[in-house]
Structure 1
Amino acid sequence: MTGAEIIVKTLIYNKVKFIFGYPGGAVMPIYDSLFTYKKQIKHILTRHEQGSIHAAQGYARVTGKPGICLSTSGPGSSNLITGLADALIDSTPLLCITGQVSSNLLGTDAFQEIDIIDISIPVTKWNFQITKPDQIFEVISKGLNIATNGRPGPILIDITKNTQVQQLNQVIIFPPKTKTNLKTQNKINKKELQKVIKTIKKARKPIIIIGQGVKLANAENQLKQFAEKTNIPVASTLLGMGILKTNHNLNYGMLGMHGNYQNNILILKSDLIIAIGLRFDDRLIGNIKTISPKTLIIHIDIDNYEINKRLKPTIYLLGNLKHNLNYLIKNFKTNSTEKWVKTFNLLKKVERKYVKEKEFIKNKIGITMPEVINYINLYKKTNCILVTDVGQHQMSASRYFNFTTLKSQITSGGLGTMGFALPAAIGAKIGAKRRQVICIVGDGGFQMTIQELGTIMQYEIPIKIIILNNNFLGMVKQWQDLFFNRRFSNTKIYNPNFTNLSKAYNIKSKKVFVKEKLKENIKKMLKSKEVFLIEILVEKEYNTLPMIPTEKSVSKICF
Structure 2
Amino acid sequence: MLLTGAEILIKSLLDEGVETIFGYPGGAVLNIYDELYKYKDKLHHVLTCHEQGAAHAADGYARATGKVGVCLATSGPGATNLVTGIATAYMDSVPMVAITGNVAKPLLGKDSFQEVDITGITMPITKHNYIVRDVNKLQEVIREAFYIAQEGRPGPVLIDIPKDVTAEKTQYTKLIPKEVIRKADYITDKALQEAIELINQSKRPFIYAGGGIRISGATQELINFAEKIKAPVSTSLMCMAEFPNDHELYTGMIGMHGTKASNIAATKCDLLITLGARFSDRVISNQNHIKNAKVLQIDVDPAEINKNVKVDTCIVGDLKVALDKLTPLIDEKKNEEWISLVSGLKEDMKIPSTDELNPELLFDKLNKLNDNNFIISTEVGQHQMWSAQYFKFKAERSFITSGGLGTMGYGLGAAIGAQIGRSDKRVINIAGDGSFGMNCNELATAVKNRLPLIQVIMNNNCLGMVRQWQNFFYEGRYSETTLDRPTDYVKLAEAFGAKAFRITKVEEIDEVLRKALDSNEPVLIDYMINTDKKVFPMVAPGAPINQIISEEDINNN
**With structure 1 as the length reference, what TM-score do the two structures score?**
0.95
Shift of 1:183: 4.2
Cα contact 1:142–1:181 (8 A) shared by 2: no
Of the candidates 347, 354, 366, which is equivalent to residue 361 of structure 1? 354
Provide the aligned C-alpha RMSD in A.
1.4
Structure-to-structure mapping, 1:392-541, within 5 angstroms: 392-495=382-485, 496-541=487-532
Q: Secondary structure at the match of 2:56?
A: helix
CA–CA separation in structure 2 for the residues paired with 1:313 and 1:513:
50
Residue 162 (structure 2) pairs with residue 172 (structure 1): no
Residue matched to 1:103 = 105
Q: CA deviation at 1:182?
A: 6.0
Q: Distance in 2 between matches of 1:265 and 1:330?
A: 29
Deviation at 1:181, TM superposition (A): 5.2
> What is the CA deviation profile of residues 213-244 of structure 1, one whole-angstrom value per residue up to 9, with x for unaligned ones?
01110111110111111110000100110111
Question: Given residue 288 of structure 1, which amino acid in structure 2 is its aligned partner?
Answer: Q
Bigger Cα displacement from structure 2, 42-51 vs 480-489: 480-489
Residue number in structure 2 paired with 1:213: 212
CA shift digits 1:337-389 (9 cap, x unpaired):
1111111111122x36xx953xx332xxx411111111111113312111011
Structure 2 residue aligned with 1:379, among 369, 377, 388?
A: 369
| Cα deviation 1:28-75 (Å, max 9, x = unaligned) | 000001111111101000000000000000000011111000000000
Matching residue of 1:290: 289
Residue deviations 1:492-514, cap 9 Å, x none? 11331111111112211100111
> Compared with structure 1, are the counterparts of its residues 286 and 34 closer, same or farther at alpha carbon in structure 2 (3 Å cutoff)?
same
Residue 461 of structure 2 aligns to a residue whose secondary structure is: coil
Give the structure 1 partner of residue 142 of structure 2: 140
Matched, 1:124 2:126: yes
d(CA) in 2 for partners of 1:184, 1:335: 29
1:389 to 367, 379, 385: 379
Q: Deviations over 1:68-94 (max 9, x none)?
A: 000000000011111111111100000
Superposed counterparts of 1:253-272, under 5 Å: 253-272=252-271
Q: 1:37 aligns with which of 21, 39, 62?
A: 39
Distance 2:180 2:400 in 1: 27
More moved, 485-494 vs 140-149: 485-494
Aligned to 1:84: 86
How do residues 145-164 of structure 1 correspond to structure 2 at under 5 angstroms? Answer: 145-164=147-166
Give, in whole Å, the separation in 2 of the partners of 1:259 and 1:85. 25
2:198 is aligned to 199
Give the deviation of 1:184 after TM superposition.
Answer: 4.7
Distance 2:102 2:179 in 1: 27
Distance 1:543 1:356 in 2: 15
Return closer, same or farther for 1:8/1:232 CA change in 2, 3 Å cut-off: same
Inter-partner Cα distance in structure 1 for 2:270 and 2:358: 37
Which residue of structure 2 lines up, in the alignment, with residue 336 of structure 1? 334
Does residue 347 (structure 1) correspond to residue 345 (structure 2)? The answer is: yes
Superposed displacement of residue 449, structure 1: 0.6
After TM superposition, give the deviation of residue 476 of structure 1 in Å. Answer: 0.5
What fraction of aligned residue pairs are identical, expressed as a percent? 41
Asked if structure 2 preserves the Cα contact closer than 8 Å seen for 1:242 and 1:406, the reply is: yes
Q: Distance in 1 between matches of 2:202 and 2:295?
A: 11
Which 4+ stretches in 1 moved above 6 angstroms? none
| Aligned residue number for residue 225 of structure 1 | 224
Q: CA deviation at 1:261?
A: 0.7
Q: Which segment is superposed worse, 54-63 or 200-209?
A: 200-209
**Counterpart Cα distance in 2 of 1:85 and 1:534:** 29
CA shift, 1:112, in A, is: 0.4
* 2:502 partner SS: strand
Q: Distance in 2 between matches of 1:466 and 1:381?
A: 19
Q: Is the 8 A contact 1:62 1:431 kept in 2?
A: yes
The superposition leaves residues 2-23 of structure 1 with CA deviations (integer Å, 9 ceiling, x where unpaired) of 1111111111111111100000
- How far residue 402 of structure 1 moved from its aligned partner, in angstroms, is 1.1
Between 472-481 and 325-334, the greater mean CA deviation after superposition: 325-334
Is the CA contact 2:61–2:418 (under 8 Å) kept in the aligned structure 1? Answer: yes
| Contact 1:381/1:436 (<8 A) preserved | no
1:177-192 equivalences under 5 Å are: 183-187=181-185, 188-192=187-191
**Is the 8 Å Cα contact of residues 98 and 156 (structure 1) preserved in structure 2?**
yes
Task: Note if contact 1:380-1:526 (Cα within 8 Å) is conserved in structure 2.
Answer: no
Match of 2:5 among 3, 6, 17: 3
Tell me the residue number matched to 2:555. Answer: none
- Shift of the 185–540 alpha-carbon distance from structure 1 to 2, 3 Å rule, reads closer
Contact kept, 8 Å, 2:351 with 2:364, in 1: the verdict is no
Cα distance in 1 for partners of 2:130, 2:484 equals: 43
Does the 8 Å CA contact 2:228/2:332 hold for their aligned counterparts? yes
SS of residue in 1 equivalent to 2:172: coil
Distance 1:132 1:399 in 2: 51
Q: Which amino acid aligns with 2:219?
A: E
1:316 alignment partner, one of 314, 317, 324: 314
Q: Secondary structure at the match of 2:344?
A: helix
Cα distance between partner residues in 2 of 1:310 and 1:117:
29
Which amino acid in the other structure matches residue 106 of structure 1?
Answer: L
> Residue in 2 aligned with 1:242?
241
Q: Residue 229 of structure 2 contacts residue 332 of structure 2 at CA under 8 Å; is this kept in 1?
A: yes
Instruction: List alignment gaps of at least 5 residues for structure 1.
Output: none
Distance 2:473 2:366 in 1: 32
Tell me the secondary structure at the aligned position of residue 158 of structure 2: strand
Q: CA deviation at 1:291?
A: 2.1
Asked if residue 548 in structure 1 is aligned to residue 546 in structure 2, the reply is no
Determine the C-alpha separation between the residues in 2 that align with 1:380 and 1:507.
23
Question: What amino acid sits opposite 1:436 in the alignment?
Answer: R
Per the TM alignment, residue 191 of structure 1 is displaced from its structure 2 partner at its CA by: 2.3
C-alpha distance in 2 between matches for 1:30 and 1:530: 31
Equivalent position amino acid for 1:492 in 2: T
Deviation at residue 528 of structure 1 after TM alignment: 2.9
The letter of the residue matching 1:260 is T
CA contact (8 A) 1:138 1:180 kept: no
Amino acid in the other structure paired with 2:461: N
| Residues 119-145 of structure 1 deviation map (CA, whole Å, 9 limit, x = unaligned) | 110110000100111111000100000
Q: TM-score scaled by structure 2?
A: 0.96
